[in-house]
Amino acid sequence: MPESVVDTVTEVPVAVVGAGPAGLMLAHLLGRAGVEAVALDLRTRAEIETTHRAGILEAGAVRDLVETGVGDRVLREGHEHEGTELRFGGRPHRIDFRALVGASVWLYPQTEVFVDLANARERDGGTVHFGVRDTEVLDVDTAAPRVRYTAADGTRHELRARYVVGADGSRSTCRGLVPERLRTRYGTEYPFAWFGVMAQAPASAPELVYAHSAHGFALISQRTADVQRMYFQCDPHERTEDWSDERIWETLQARVAGEDGFRLTEGPILERAVLRFRSFVQEPMRWGSLLLAGDAAHTVPPTGARGLNLALHDVKVLAPVLLRALGPEGDAALADYQPLALRRVWRAQHFSSWLTRLLHTAPDATPFDRHRQLGELDSLVNTRAGRTYLAEQYTGWPTP
């Protein structure tokens, strides 16, 4: 079948499929080094900006955003958290990141990271196409891959690149381009989901609260000074329309209740959604002229707040590898990408899965299972080694 006619053909060193935080950060890093990268996304910019997602950034990710010229809004409008609280057995236990490992994290929604990166690309004259459709990635098994797409105005275009980066999220089509015989997919589904709500209410706590109770798990987070983001464990098949505001608040209050009298500040529920999650990794992260980054290559359950940080770390590693590959080293430089990226990915997979299973109650949990969980939580918060381990894992690890 003959290929469709295109209106324009553009040659570019790197084409990035996916213009979320990972894709835009990669294009930004390459642009700072004088290498043009064109990014494109099926979603419009407005759609990405209005898809509310929580975000905990490692201090290293914040430093990278500021030091590479994305901007310092994260420092002005984000909230530095020097610790977090685990609640179980009706009692609070604060994990002091700063005292234990000399690090902190920043509460800064992923949508705001996207806005900062999109603004930086616009400021720097970078090319980003939002709202495209009919995207095709061709010839990635050659040294002359192509990306074809239809722009928002209906015109058809082709990018002729040296490398294509698939940063197109957890529903990636790019990862499917790796032949089935050559790829391995690892993963597990969890037997529970999160019921997430956005509430019009002031913050109930200065830092995140992770609660484990006989009623199930809950996470209390913040969005702004007067809008809060909260989650509680639910069945993956729950329907949001079955949950009134009153029922939601009763569930959340029961899961954080304790002998200290802690209660959440209530208000109208603005949004509600059931969020399923899984652990997933695809290897290899590179095939031919195609490289995968972020959720296109791996996803983690949200409990450990690793997803966005992993995506940003992938492209932090990938950018200098691509610069070397575009120079005298050629394709040989690409061999360094996967080992550096996967080392962190698998550490994050372990931490996210461990914390998820530690804090949630499995549907088939026995009385022994529940008491064993409490014993593990007690060892975690009441030993310095346990607290330090959690602090090290949560605040992240240096890039090798």
Q: What is the pLDDT of residue 1?
A: 37
Q: Residues of the chain with pLDDT > 90: what percent?
A: 94
pLDDT of 398 > 80? The answer is no
Pick from 114, 110, 127, 116: nearest CA to 31: 127
Band of residue 241 on the pLDDT scale cut at 50, 70, 90: very high
Q: What is the pLDDT of residue 5?
A: 87
Band of residue 397 on the pLDDT scale cut at 50, 70, 90: confident
- Whether the model pTM is above 0.85: yes
Look at 48-52, 92-96, 199-203, 237-241 and tell me which has the smallest mean pLDDT: 48-52
String of DSSP letters for 126-184: --EE-S-EEEEEE-TTSSS-EEEEE-TTS-EEEEEEEEEEE---TT-SGGGGS-GGG-E
Tokens of 393: 């894992």
Pairing state of beta strands 278-283 and 105-107? unpaired
Model pLDDT for residues 57-105, shown as the tens digit of each residue: 999 999 999 999 999 999 999 999 999 999 999 999 999 999 999 999 9
The DSSP 8-state label assigned to residue 226 in this structure reads: S
Give CA–CA dist 170/192, Å, rounded: 19
Edge-to-edge strand order for the sheet containing 79-81?
56-58, 105-107, 79-81
pLDDT of 131 > 70? The answer is yes
String of DSSP letters for 307-325: HHHHHHHHHHHHHHHHHHH
